[in-house]
Structure 1
Amino acid sequence: MDHALVRVVRASDAPGPLADLRGGDAYFINSAASCSIGFPVTQNGQPGFVSAGHCGQAGSSAAAPDGTSIGTFQGSTFPGNDYSWVQADSSWTTQPQANNYAGDTVTVSGSDVAPIGSSVCRSGSTTGWRCGRGRQFNATVNYAQGSVFGLTRTSVCAEPGDSGGSFISGSQAQGVTSGGSGNCTVGGTTYFQPVNPILQAYGLTLATG
């Protein structure tokens, strides 16, 4: 080897590993309760994700299951609506994907609203990937904390910890898991908060691919 052809350049930057934000993955709020990521988003280039409002209040911390900090809730509304958004640290990258819990992901390409009767699937960290059909727009749900309006009712099951997770029809983002009845053993009804009003409320851009 000709050492005269080798040149060493010292860089001033210090690269670090980047972690991915992906729909349906688990996160923890204030090192306690767990929810699921809805959809990765950006605001003025800053990464983050949307989720359910009942998952955390503005100022609450969000962390990955291994304890790594993700970021902080910047906005949250519940009841009335059930949505929130978390601004992530710069070490996180948004991926236009939702975990299908079968070793792969589903790519999100937009947020067109699927007609009632369409197949919808939900990604959540407790029960994984579950599918059913949209049953009703503009549903009102009376939770113990108060009423939430404008939800979409589905025949998809869900359980605690799935809250906030992705609802998708084909490749189109539909909303984030709010709540419901039943479970994934006997089946149930689950409602989601439509995603487009969340994006509009906070000035967010959905990660698409």
Structure 2
Amino acid sequence: MRRTTTLSTCLASLLLIGSWAAVGTGSASAAAAPEAAPTSASKAPASNALIDAMRRDFGLTKAGAEARLAAEKKATATEPKAERAAGAAYGGSWFDADSGKLTVAVKDGASAATLAAVRETGASVRTVKYSARQLDAAKARIDKLTAPDGVSNWYVDAESSSVVVGVVGAQRADNDVRAFLAKARAGGSVAVTVEETAAAPETFAAGTVGGDPFYTGNVRCSIGFSVHGGFVTAGHCGGAGQGVSGWDRSYIGNIQGSSFPENDYAWVNVGSGWWTVPVVLGWGTVSDQLVRGSNEAPVGASICRSGSTTHWHCGNVLAKNETVNYSQGAVRQMTKTSVCAEPGDSGGSFISGDQAQGVTSGGWGNCSTGGETWYQPINEILNRYGLTLHTA
């Protein structure tokens, strides 16, 4: 089914970005591991694929990239412990790339014992005006409003202890935008701040083009992550019951569940000789990445994306639990990144180290001039449909 290539490249091509192919009838575990990817026993923080992409996009040395990944892994493990230690005073957290540590916001007035308990986890502490519970309640109130096109997104920013509303710069003076901001600020004690964005977010689906896609009708999208029995992707790529075909238009399976807007996720069952492997494709530019879990990276951590249009790109996690206002309707509980994307990348993999993070939803900009991209967190998708991530 697929053009002639080596076994290791073929196997790596099965998972991501519509690159599924029948290379045999045995299970993925019986085949050779992807070329240049570390084994499960390896102590390497990530494959050469991710290290190379971080060196390119962050301007790091190999040692610098490995050190950052190690620090982020430690911060990821620290975050839930620090949140428990802070208790009701918890105000959010983020990874500080300069210090290599997790910073935890704690509400003013917290006891000395609480502050000490948070510091004992290894996190730095910053006192803030509001707790995460207060900030989340303020955002939930804004979620009930209907946003005009000039409002791009809104989210809780732990660092500024406020709810931030993104407004397209050229439409900031629009009457509907001003009315929305007035309603967002009315009746609440939590600060609501405004940040200008360059453009309104759009989903990253595309019409039929060549490459290694998967298709629903004439829409091309990218595969996110293998799960047992299929793969997950973006909901805007197709509705439940739709047939899905691979890069060569041969039948893969059907969309078993899909949600968009409000959410942006879907999952597809796999059959007809197609099969799954726990790999994120490097597209021949970089080596491929094994997937070993789905521990959630903190705000500030590095993250990379693979998609069928623009391949590998890296950036930082900018915000979580963000509401994104697409023209089709709002999507909630999204994570914002500084990674670029373009049409056809929708549904593709966001990965931090060897940990799956989510599937590409949409954003603004492109990979020539830059931009921002949101993803739907992977663990929410797995929990929603009762799926199990296929890991190495």
Q: TM-score, normalised by structure 2?
A: 0.47
Alignment partner of 1:192 out of 368, 372, 375 = 375
Alignment partner of 1:71 out of 253, 271, 293 = 253
Instruction: Please say if residues 174 and 195 of structure 1, whose CA atoms lie closer than 8 Å, have aligned partners that are also in contact.
Output: yes
1:116 aligns with 2:303: no
> Do the aligned partners of residues 91 and 103 (structure 1) sit closer, same or farther apart at CA in structure 2, a change above 3 Å counting?
farther
State the match for 1:28 in structure 2: 215
Q: Secondary structure at the match of 2:384?
A: helix
Instruction: Please say if residues 21 and 40 of structure 1, whose CA atoms lie closer than 8 Å, have aligned partners that are also in contact.
Output: no
Structure of higher RCO (CA pairs closer than 8 Å, 6+ residues apart): 1
Alignment partner of 1:94 out of 276, 292, 309 = 276
State the match for 1:180 in structure 2: 363
1:40 aligns with 2:222: no
Deviation at 1:74, TM superposition (A): 0.5
1:160 aligns with 2:347: no
In structure 1, runs of 5+ residues without a counterpart are 1-17
Question: Quick one: percent identity of the two aligned structures?
Answer: 55
In structure 2, runs of 5+ residues without a counterpart are 1-9, 19-212
Q: How far apart are the structure 1 equivalents of 2:273 and 2:352?
A: 30
Alignment partner of 2:234 out of 9, 28, 52 = 52
Compare CA radii of gyration and give the structure with the larger one.
2
Deviation at 1:104, TM superposition (A): 2.9
Q: How far apart are the structure 2 equivalents of 1:112 and 1:133?
A: 16
Deviation at 1:208, TM superposition (A): 0.3
State the match for 1:171 in structure 2: 354
> Do the aligned partners of residues 21 and 205 (structure 1) sit closer, same or farther apart at CA in structure 2, a change above 3 Å counting?
farther
Deviation at 1:24, TM superposition (A): 3.2
1:193 is matched by which residue type in structure 2?
Q
Deviation at 1:125, TM superposition (A): 0.2
Q: TM-score, normalised by structure 1?
A: 0.86
Deviation at 1:91, TM superposition (A): 1.5
State the match for 1:134 in structure 2: 317
Root-mean-square deviation (Å): 1.4
Q: Secondary structure at the match of 2:280?
A: strand
Q: Report the count of equivalent residues.
A: 187
Bigger helix fraction: 2
Deviation at 1:103, TM superposition (A): 5.5
1:48 is matched by which residue type in structure 2?
G
1:85 aligns with 2:270: no
